[in-house]
A and B are shown apart, each in its own frame.
Chain A
Amino acid sequence: MSAVQPPTARPIDFRDATLGTTVAVLRLVEPHLLADAMHKMLGGMPDFFSGEPAILDFAELAGEPERIDWAGLLSLMRRFQLQPVGVRNLAPELAAGARKAGLAVLDGIALGERGAKVPAAETPPQRPAAAPVPAPAPAAPPAAPVRAGTMIVERPLRSGQQVYARGADLVLLAGMSNGAEVIADGSIHCYGPLRGRAIAGAQGDTTARILSTNFGPEIVSIAGIYKTFENGIPAALAGKPAHVRLTGGDREHRLALEPLQLD
């Protein structure tokens, strides 16, 4: 190491950077309830987030908590390899606690997030498990958004992996395994086996569909209307091209599972 600094080198520099930051949208603050939900989402991959910095967003909180167990919340996030660095949309009377816990209060700072946020009051996400969950990072490992409206996953999705196509359709080019989960606000198109949990229309879009060339899911759901297959998949569809959509008009939505003609 040289002791002589080149004349232009400053001891500190500041650069613009878009961090690979995850925003965790909390709808509840009780660590034990969140732990349960996160475990369901990420149980198989405790290190899904690989140490990403996270911002806790309280905009969609179900109620007004009197206090927040910051220590519990932070240790829960860290257990899932998220590093909370700040909070936003937190009620002013709770902000002091966040600061004390070492979190920055980031209201009014634009983050350049990907994907449009849907206001909670208009179309609350409907999921079969009805679990309050932090929004997963849009950038799951093997996925790359090609253009607004479609996310394409090129590699097989494995047990324990989860992909969320926020505000988009999802195309799986190499199928998915049992124990994997895909969620799309739009439709899901799966080339290859569809074997895990497939949740389309996650924000309530009843026109979303699920299409697969090799049908064998554990669960399918469209706009919160779901079907499980504990007793097996109908023989006419199992391992074959199939198509899932909602029928029955606004009141009486039901899932229709039909063979798909590929010829």
Chain B
Amino acid sequence: MTRVVVITSGKGGVGKTTTSAAFASGLALRGFKTCVIDFDVGLRNLDLIMGCERRVVYDFVNVINGEAKLTQALIKDKHCENLFVLPASQTRDKDALTEEGVEAVIKELEHMGFDYVVCDSPAGIERGAVLALTFADEAIVTTNPEVSSVRDSDRILGILQSKSRRAAEGREPVKEHLLVTRYSPKRVDDGEMLSYKDVQELLRVPLIGVIPESESVLHASNQGTPAIHLKGADVADAYTDVVARFLGEERPLRYVNYEKPGLIKRLFGGK
């Protein structure tokens, strides 16, 4: 059975695409045949973060319109054997996606034997975001530790409850996971940011991980390398933990506590 996982948030710019790329790569690294779909029609950038933008010929909308076969549009990832990217179109208008079209593509991926389909949702709570979550079995609600992001995540959780197929058909509800991203323990310590515990307390969704704020994310996306591949980087570790927890393994949280710099560091500076 294929599991469909939506990466969603309501608010824009919180790290959905970064997470989609890293999470899908992590599943593929664990041996699962995985497809990551960019639902952000008109603003595609998943292909940039995955480093496959030059290989995009056909896209999601072409497939839905019957202008290309799914197999023609799927791009094989350069890092992982089992990973495929279904890019969005930069030129189309937002209404190019239809519910029937999305359903047909997901059905076909199921026939092709995919274990996981990861849906990178656009921001907002409108059509595009609703389509991205309609067929979800699980949702990773990506939230930054600030009030506006928490509120938007709360909204999207409500929409998940009412608009997903699972909800519409009265099946078991979509399984919800909370992912706190761009987390800065120092700023939490200074009282400038909500702590991950605050976020969880407000949203009441099981926490699947905390991704630290890290400059290496920007470098990685400039290079077209999903953050999970960054050797030795805290973000890569944190995303690896997320995938492990998603697969049912227990991992303690890392990179969530602020350690005050020691005396030597304070005297001599340095990183």
Q: Which residue of A lies closest to B168 (CB)?
A: A50
Contacting pair A174 B158 (CB below 8 A): no
Contacting pair B161 A159 (CB below 8 A): no
CB distance from B151 to the nearest CB of A (A): 6
CB distance from B162 to the nearest CB of A (A): 4
| B70: Cβ under 8 A from any A Cβ | no
Q: Which residue of B lies closest to A193 (CB)?
A: B204
Contacting pair A192 B204 (CB below 8 A): yes
**Interchain CB contact (< 8 A) of A174 among B154, B159, B167, B204:** B204
Contacting pair B151 A178 (CB below 8 A): yes
With A155-B173, A156-B204: A179-B155 Cβ-Cβ less than 8 Å: yes
Contacting pair A141 B161 (CB below 8 A): yes
* Distance in angstroms between the alpha carbons of A177 and B173 in the assembled complex: 19
Residues 175-204 of B, flagged 1 when their CB comes within 8 A of A and 0 if not, give 000000000000000000000000000111
Residues 46-90 of A, flagged 1 when their CB comes within 8 A of B and 0 if not, give 011010000000000000000000000000000000000000000
Contacting pair A158 B155 (CB below 8 A): yes
How many residues of A are in contact with the other chain, CB < 8 A? 22
| B163: Cβ under 8 A from any A Cβ | yes
CB distance from B159 to the nearest CB of A (A): 7
By CB atoms of chain B within 10 A, which of A44, A158, A180, A193 has the most? A158
Q: Which residue of A lies closest to B160 (CB)?
A: A158
Chain A residues closer than 8 Å to B130, beta-carbon distance: 47
CB distance from A144 to the nearest CB of B (A): 10
With A44-B155, A158-B155: A177-B202 Cβ-Cβ less than 8 Å: yes
| B139: Cβ under 8 A from any A Cβ | no
Chain B residues closer than 8 Å to A178, beta-carbon distance: 151, 154, 202
Contacting pair B167 A141 (CB below 8 A): yes
Q: Which residue of A lies closest to B152 (CB)?
A: A159
| A33: Cβ under 8 A from any B Cβ | no
CB distance from A5 to the nearest CB of B (A): 27
**Interchain CB contact (< 8 A) of B158 among A50, A160, A192, A193:** A160
CB within 8 Å of A: which of B136-174? 151, 154-155, 157-159, 161-163, 167, 173
**Interchain CB contact (< 8 A) of B157 among A44, A50, A158:** A158
Contacting pair B204 A159 (CB below 8 A): no
With A155-B173, A156-B204: A179-B161 Cβ-Cβ less than 8 Å: no
> How many A-B residue pairs lie within 8 Å, measured between CB atoms?
50
**Interchain CB contact (< 8 A) of A47 among B151, B163, B202, B204:** B163
Contacting pair A141 B162 (CB below 8 A): yes
* Distance in angstroms between the alpha carbons of A44 and B162 in the assembled complex: 13
Q: Which residue of B lies closest to A156 (CB)?
A: B204
* Distance in angstroms between the alpha carbons of A45 and B152 in the assembled complex: 12
Contacting pair A45 B204 (CB below 8 A): no
Chain A residues closer than 8 Å to B167, beta-carbon distance: 141
**Interchain CB contact (< 8 A) of B162 among A142, A156, A179, A180:** A142
CB distance from B147 to the nearest CB of A (A): 9
CB distance from B189 to the nearest CB of A (A): 23
Q: Which residue of A lies closest to B147 (CB)?
A: A178
Contacting pair A155 B154 (CB below 8 A): no
Contacting pair B151 A156 (CB below 8 A): no
Chain B residues closer than 8 Å to A161, beta-carbon distance: 158, 161-162
**Interchain CB contact (< 8 A) of A159 among B154, B162, B163, B173:** B154
Contacting pair A179 B163 (CB below 8 A): no
CB within 8 Å of B: which of A150-206? 155-161, 174-175, 177-180, 192-193
Residues 194-220 of B, flagged 1 when their CB comes within 8 A of A and 0 if not, give 000000001110000000000000000
Residues 24-57 of B, flagged 1 when their CB comes within 8 A of A and 0 if not, give 0000000000000000000000000000000000
Contacting pair B161 A175 (CB below 8 A): no
CB distance from A257 to the nearest CB of B (A): 22
Chain B residues closer than 8 Å to A47, beta-carbon distance: 130, 163
* Distance in angstroms between the alpha carbons of A155 and B157 in the assembled complex: 11
CB distance from A248 to the nearest CB of B (A): 35
Q: Which residue of B lies closest to A178 (CB)?
A: B151
* Distance in angstroms between the alpha carbons of A44 and B152 in the assembled complex: 10
Chain A residues closer than 8 Å to B173, beta-carbon distance: 155
Q: A residues near B, CB below 8 A? A: 44-45, 47-48, 50, 141-142, 155-161, 174-175, 177-180, 192-193
* CB<8 Å pairs between A and B, sample of 10: A44-B158, A45-B162, A141-B167, A158-B158, A159-B154, A175-B204, A178-B154, A179-B154, A179-B155, A192-B204
8 tightest CB-CB pairs across the interface, nearest first? Answer: A158-B158, A141-B162, A159-B154, A161-B158, A177-B154, A159-B155, A158-B154, A158-B157
Q: B residues near A, CB below 8 A? A: 125, 130, 151, 154-155, 157-159, 161-163, 167, 173, 202-204
